[in-house]
Chain A
Amino acid sequence: MKIKYFYPLFLVLLVSTALASLPVPPPAGGTVTGKVTYTGTPPKMKPIDMAKEPNCAKEHAASPVFTENVVTGPGNTLEWAVVYVSAGDQGSTPGTQTLRFDQKGCQYMPHVLAMQVDQPFEIVNSDPHLHNIHPLPKINPEWNKSQPPGTPPLMAKYDKPEFIPVKCNVHPWMHGWFIVLNTSHYAISGSDGSFSIKGLPPGKYTLTAWQEQFGTQAQDVTIAGGETKNITFTFKALPY
């Protein structure tokens, strides 16, 4: 039914975005779902000693927080991996929604913030003490700003795709990522390692999974119509 109308609709969409860049409804299309997993022994995550910041130490006294480089889930799955279309992308919509990056209990929420090029995001300090936000880009311009408690959110965006580590010098254990992508087709694996990328127009894609410790893996996927493809990324893990 819908496929019948797809091509004319797509043409119209192309023309309209090119001419007027009107708000566009998300194109219907195929979906890729799957899991990010590992084989081998992953490094043991270390408990974070927040003694330096008594506020945070108190907050996490009951259940200690661990480092988040390799967060594993049941069934050898990996959390916080980013899966995105790295080649053959089509039908991406520009990111306009303002994302939120929170600093709470001396941790970054979320640990990995994926966004599109030129997509605005705000950085919020929910703690009663100072943080400084120091993203360490190599291509994008670098900045390092501190955010005293009670000050308005910092607004930012990046105009080139890049994987940017983020740190807080005041609390050196705080560690996060800004993932700036050229596409709107991306997903971050959840606590069970699963991800799902929706709305892919038919075509041949390369999907890449990125994990901060283990690097990247790529797979080719062909989407024919409104189908759902299932793929699994498997990283090799080393204990140290």
Chain B
Amino acid sequence: MTTGESAQGPGMKFFVAVWVGLMCIVGIEVIITFRHLPPRELLVWLLALAFLEAGIAVWYFMHLKYERAALAWSLLPALAFVVFMMDHIWPDAFRLLSMRLLSN
């Protein structure tokens, strides 16, 4: 049970620090955006930062760190697997460009 064995968070002070960190990452994202990188590079940066942010949120805010490891090991690989498999659609997205019907 939760109250018994796990989810004893480290206290609000720590969470405030995490919150400040997350806001900093958002700041970095905005700064990177306005350095006008090529879209592909920007995407890589933003995605990396977003995953970092999301990871922090899952880990600390959603208390996954304070649950049994089994929970994280069940949920995250499943999600990662599904998202990885979805990546198989990209080659067809590029087909939309290279094989577009030239009418109008």
Do A and B touch directly, given a CB cutoff of 8 Å in the complex? Answer: no
A interface residues, Cβ below 8 angstroms from B: none
B residues in contact (CB < 8 Å) with A: none
